[in-house]
A and B are shown apart, each in its own frame.
Chain A
Amino acid sequence: MYKRILAVAGFAFIGGALREMLELWWPFSTNWFGTTICINIVGAFLLAMINFWVANRFALPSQIILGLGTGMIGAFTTFSSFSLEIVTLLNAGQIMGPIIYVLLSIGGGVLAAWGGQRLADRLLGDRMDGDDNA
């Protein structure tokens, strides 16, 4: 159990630090709100690839998969900033901004996760006969 917690915490440091670096380079403002959106979309894709491709393709210890997925990517992406940035845009009196923000985040995030899961299936399909309908 403690090994799994250490893996989550250690990899989460990387994910959280990376997110903060990107947020410092391209800070959120009412004129630019793309950073968190991009982080969340990229993270949704990477989590799918880690859980569905890396986990099945490489013989890695389960703690490492947990660390990479739940730890690193879980901490890299964030829902709390997503909520607060929408509120900030709404408080600034914007209407289109928050709508675009929500559509890009959820639409992009779901598409990225779907694409990642599909791509993982494809990549594994060459090795294992399609388990999709099994």
Chain B
Amino acid sequence: MIMLNWISVALAGSGAAIGATGRYLVMQIAQLISHWRLQHSGRVPSRFPWPTFLINVSGSFMLGWVMSSGLNTGIKVLVGAGVLGGFTTFSTMANEIVLLAHDQRLKLAVWYGLLSLICGVLAAVVGVKLS
């Protein structure tokens, strides 16, 4: 039993390394795109934290799907708790909300939190149903 638990811990850690790397790359690409758009079309990037939002909503969908699937427990731990747990993040969202509020963008901060919640839960429901 204790052995099994340590295997789960190692699987979740390994998956999280993959998921967090994916999240970092998505953030980097999003930054490149908004720089490019600013330079080429003068579009000022939106203050809405789209990268985190899209990561969290898509990750919620995939977790709903994986956890309701017939995959074996090891895969569920590796992909669910690991990859998707590491890909999505709550701490970044909480800090972004505070920074938006701090910059007098209170409405945007509230919208960001509410939309993340609603879309995340809906995405998870759809993932569960499709599984």
B12, A79: Cβ atoms closer than 8 Å? no
A82, B90: Cβ atoms closer than 8 Å? yes
B124, A19: Cβ atoms closer than 8 Å? no
Task: Please report whether the interface of chain B is mostly helix, strand, loop or mixed according to DSSP.
Answer: helix
Task: Please report whether the interface of chain A is mostly helix, strand, loop or mixed according to DSSP.
Answer: helix
* Interchain nearest-CB distance for B131 vs A (Å): 12
* Interchain nearest-CB distance for A111 vs B (Å): 9
- Bound: A56/B85 CA distance, A: 28
Residues of B within 8 A of A19 (CB): 12, 16, 81, 85
| In the complex, chain A residues 10-47 whose Cβ is within 8 Å of any chain B Cβ | 10-17, 19-21, 23-24, 40, 43-44, 46-47
Residues of B within 8 A of A100 (CB): none
Partner among B13, B21, B94, B123 whose Cβ is within 8 Å of the Cβ of A83:
B123
The count of chain A contact residues (Cβ–Cβ below 8 Å) is 52
* Interchain nearest-CB distance for A23 vs B (Å): 7
Partner among B55, B56, B85, B128 whose Cβ is within 8 Å of the Cβ of A16:
B85
Q: When each residue 37-65 of chain B gets 1 if its CB lies under 8 Å from chain A and 0 otherwise, what string results?
A: 00000000000000000011001101110
A23, B95: Cβ atoms closer than 8 Å? no
- Given A79-B120, A110-B97, residue A17 in contact with residue B13 (CB < 8 A): yes
A77, B91: Cβ atoms closer than 8 Å? yes
B121, A79: Cβ atoms closer than 8 Å? no
A78, B123: Cβ atoms closer than 8 Å? no
A123 beta carbon closer than 8 Å to chain B = no
- Given A5-B24, A102-B117, residue A80 in contact with residue B63 (CB < 8 A): yes
Q: 27 A–B contact pairs at CB < 8 A?
A: A5-B21, A12-B16, A12-B20, A16-B15, A16-B19, A16-B85, A24-B5, A40-B94, A44-B90, A44-B91, A44-B94, A47-B95, A66-B24, A70-B24, A75-B16, A75-B17, A75-B89, A80-B62, A80-B87, A83-B56, A83-B60, A84-B64, A86-B121, A86-B124, A87-B121, A106-B117, A112-B94
Residues in A lying within 8 Å of B, measured CB to CB: 4-5, 8-17, 19-21, 23-24, 40, 43-44, 46-48, 51, 66, 70-71, 73-84, 86-87, 90, 102, 105-106, 109-110, 112-114, 116-117
